Structure 1
Amino acid sequence: MFSKFVRRWCFPANTPIYSSPHLQRSWRMSMAQPLDRATLRAIAERALDEWDICATELELISISENTVFRIDTDTDETYALRIHRPDYHNLAELNSEQQWTAALKRAGIGVPLPRLTREGHGYATVPVPGSTETRHVGIVEWFEGVTLSSIIVQAPDMRTLALHFNQLGRIAARIHNQAVSWQVPEDFQRHAFDADGFMGDTPFWGPFWVLPELKASEREHILNTRRAIHRTLSDYGKGSEIYSLIHADLHPHNLLVNGDQLHVIDFDDSGFGWHQYELAVALDAYRKPPHFKVARDALIAGYRSERPLSDEAIELLPMFLLIRSLALLGWLHERPEHNKGDRVRNLIQSACKQAEALGI
């Protein structure tokens, strides 16, 4: 199958890309200003008034895409309070995320369940002190554990690495099994990582072809690659054997291990997409030999132990790894604060090399 798609890579450079208007997403960066720690804490404390929770401690855990606080309570229960960044998901999309995670939980997959407000809502919308802005705030159960990524770093040999990626492949397949069998509610709203979502005029994670770090020759190469991948994905289709709701950020940092339990966290990027992209995300940070082949083979073997995945589908994995690189370039374009050192330059060079290897 891959060779069949390769023959479609090359076509005139001025070939337009037509994006479906209802799928388009504005990729302008949020105009909201970053909030300091005192303001974030004030938002968290105000949000707690909406829940029937008596917090004994509120600890700031992380400030990145979203802000996370740990809540300890007088009943010895522990929760994670998450302040969502503006302009990424609206309230309907956030509620849909909770609908899916609740369905995954019912299917036996370890995901955090939300704690509802006194009014029975999944989120509270809280004003930002001294501003006309608001933030959506949600609370979910807290999972103790160690990230799978930190365990992999300490893996003493390739056999141990393979065991962990086999485990990751199994959980990815179980998520997809649930997704393809689940009747999506009528009011469900999530983005799509489809041809337009990745390579359209307004890709979900930003226009990777406008980065100022791109040289003229690289920009031309990237634009041709974008057109080629858009056409390939458009032709590929969205059958349930390859396409459904996906986590879309299922790398080892987002899996927590606690004894024999494995929990999946951070569904913020989840949406509709191809299953191979899920696997590409898992492999993205492990591309160097000899780790890549071991991790890839174990990931696929684990996946296939829970769910069928054809050889033809696997042949397209290199393309989805390239898509991941391009999506990350778009992500960095919208978040220049994360562009440190040679990160963008290295990623541009990697993307161009991957495209060349695919014959683009």
Structure 2
Amino acid sequence: MVERSILNQILNVIGDPSQDIHLLGGYFNNVYEIRAEKPIVVKIFNSEVDHEEQIASEIDWTRYLYEHGINVAIPIFIKEESYIHRLNDNLFFIAYEKVKGNHVDIHSEIWNEELFNQWGRAMGNMHFLSKLSKGKYKRPEWYEHKIYQMDMSQFDPVIREKWENCLEVIKSMNPNNDTYGVIHGDLHHHNFLYDTGELTVIDFGDSEYNFYAYDIAIAIYHASQTVKDMDKRKRFANIFFKLFMEGYSVENSDVNKIVKEVDFFINYRHLYSFVYHTQFLDKANLNEQQLQYLEDMSRTIINQDSYLGIECFFESGSY
């Protein structure tokens, strides 16, 4: 949680210290909403972790997508002509007008084939625009993430070996313009809002240069996590893949070079998620259910070669 004095400082910058500010969430509890006449969402950063030039490049990327017709959350100016508002030597924030819409309830009627298709179209469009940008935007390369420089000695030897093998496979892949570019990097169902048939994509903090197949795998992996039974989860994942790729191929038709790597990247995402949570979460503050979840992840990584068993074949118009 951010100290109240910092929140008060943000309200002073916004220009109305009487407004209510409350926590929305974020992985590090750093996203807040200000309930003004026009609600504002602010995301707070620590420059020791998130450098200003990285955030500036994220803003440039989202503005490029917005200017080319993608529904995305883009930042707003407050007082000065800068999107980055410094609070002290370490902290700064970005402000956004609150986007219309809500997170999708997986138990509602909205969680359906049409949504999965739309979700795929949104990602396909972003990947198509990434190909057009031809490396113009300075997002980080995937291998620059600090997770790849961390000590892995705490992990089970099997997990450590699988991690190292995955990295070798990714490094051996050919990053050409049809398969590799700027991806969202975390486009699960909590990172878009839905309103009257429209999706708005949010939170580009993990956007980076990586393989498009990884972005697709992330969507499949996290959507499938909504199904608790493992056999049903695998069936759902294959259905979701086909519906998602139908939408994706409408906007980015050259999918044959991409889809063959999706199952590999789903397995990698499962492994990556376990490593990420283990490295960055404070286990002392986790409850019993969360600890059990990590234990279950560890067991499936060690014992399974293919987590979801996606049949990586897609022919446009065949479903």
Question: Which bracket does the TM-score occupy, shorter chain normalised?
Answer: 0.7 to 0.9
Contact between 1:205 and 1:331, CA under 8 Å: does it hold in 2? no
Which residue of structure 2 aligns with residue 111 of structure 1?
Answer: 72
Q: 1:342 aligns with which of 277, 292, 312?
A: 292
Q: Which moved more, 1:229-238 or 1:258-267?
A: 229-238
> Do the aligned partners of 2:72 and 2:200 also contact (CA within 8 Å) in 1?
yes
Instruction: Name 2:240's counterpart in structure 1.
Output: 295
Counterpart of 2:19 in structure 1 is: 57
TM-score of the superposed pair, with normalisation by structure 1:
0.73
1:203 to 143, 147, 150: 147
> 1:206, 1:333 within 8 Å by CA — same for their partners in 2?
no
Deviations 1:150-182 (A, max 9, x none): 1x33249xxx63222111111001111122212
Could you tell me how far 1:101 is from its partner in structure 2? 0.8
Residue 191 (structure 1) aligned to one of 140, 144, 158: 140
Counterpart of 1:137?
93
Matched, 1:96 2:41: no
Q: Is the 8 A contact 1:205 1:330 kept in 2?
A: no
> Matched residues in 2 for 1:323 and 1:197: separation?
17
Change (3 A) 1:50 1:183: farther
* CA pair 162-88 structure 1, distance change in 2 beyond 3 A: farther
DSSP-derived class of the 1:153 partner:
coil
Deviation at 1:204, TM superposition (A): 5.0
Alpha-carbon distance in 1 for matches of 2:254, 2:28: 32
Assess, with a 3 A threshold, how the Cα gap between structure 1 residues 167 and 337 changes in structure 2: closer, same or farther: same
Q: What residue identity is the alignment partner of 2:147?
A: P
For residue 276 of structure 1, what is the aligned residue in structure 2?
213
Alpha-carbon distance, 1:356 to partner: 6.4
**C-alpha distance in 2, partners of 1:72/1:337?**
31
SS of the residue 1:233 aligns to: helix
1:327 partnered with 2:277: no
Partner SS state of residue 87, structure 2: strand
**C-alpha separation in 1, matches of 2:119 and 2:256:** 19
Decide whether aligned partners of structure 1 residues 229 and 197 sit closer, same or farther in structure 2, where only a CA change above 3 A counts.
Answer: farther
The normalised TM-score by structure 2 is 0.82
**What is the letter of the counterpart of residue 122 of structure 1?**
Y
C-alpha distance after superposition, 1:247-298 (max 9, x if no partner)? 1010011110011221111111111111111111111130513321111111
> Does residue 108 of structure 2 align to residue 154 of structure 1?
yes
Question: 1:170–1:306: 8 Å Cα contact kept in structure 2?
Answer: yes
Residue type of the partner of 1:345? Answer: E
Q: 2: CA distance between counterparts of 1:205 and 1:248?
A: 19
Q: Which of 123, 143, 161 in structure 2 is aligned with 1:172?
A: 123
Long gaps (5+) in structure 2: 226-232, 310-319
Paired with 1:92 and 1:154, the residues of 2 have a C-alpha distance of 40
Aligned counterpart in structure 1 of residue 8 of structure 2, from 12, 24, 45: 45
Cα distance between partner residues in 2 of 1:62 and 1:112 = 15
The residue aligned with 1:81 is 42
1:102 positional shift: 0.8
The answer to whether the 8 Å contact 1:280/1:321 transfers is: yes
Structure 1 residues 204, 85: CA separation in 2 closer, same or farther (over 3 Å shift)? farther
The answer (yes or no) to whether the contact 2:187–2:215 under 8 Å persists in 1 is yes
Alignment of 1:64-75 (within 5 A): 64-73=27-36
> Quick one: distance in 1 between partners of 2:159 and 2:254?
29
C-alpha spacing 1:228/1:139, structure 2 compared with 1 (3 Å): same
Note if contact 1:206-1:330 (Cα within 8 Å) is conserved in structure 2.
no
Unaligned 5+ segments in structure 1 are: 1-35, 128-132
Amino acid at match of 1:109: I
Contact kept? 1:177, 1:307, Cα under 8 Å: yes
Q: What is the RMSD computed on CA atoms of the aligned residues?
A: 2.6
Q: Aligned pair in 2 of structure 1 residues 190, 265: CA closer, same or farther (>3 Å)?
A: same
Amino acid in structure 2 at the alignment position of 1:226: W
Aligned CA distance change for structure 1 residues 307 and 107 (closer, same or farther; 3 Å) = same
Give the distance between the partners of 1:356 and 1:251, measured in 2 at CA: 20
Q: 1:221-272, CA deviations, whole angstroms, 9 ceiling, x for partnerless residues? A: 2233233322322221111111111110100111100112211111111111
Q: Helix, strand or coil: the match of 2:282? A: helix
Q: Which residue of 2 aligns with 1:305?
A: 250
- Largest Rg, 1 or 2: 1
SS in 2 for 1:105: helix
> Higher relative CO (CA 8 A, sep ≥ 6), structure 1 or 2?
1
The amino acid that maps onto 2:275 is G
Aligned length: 294
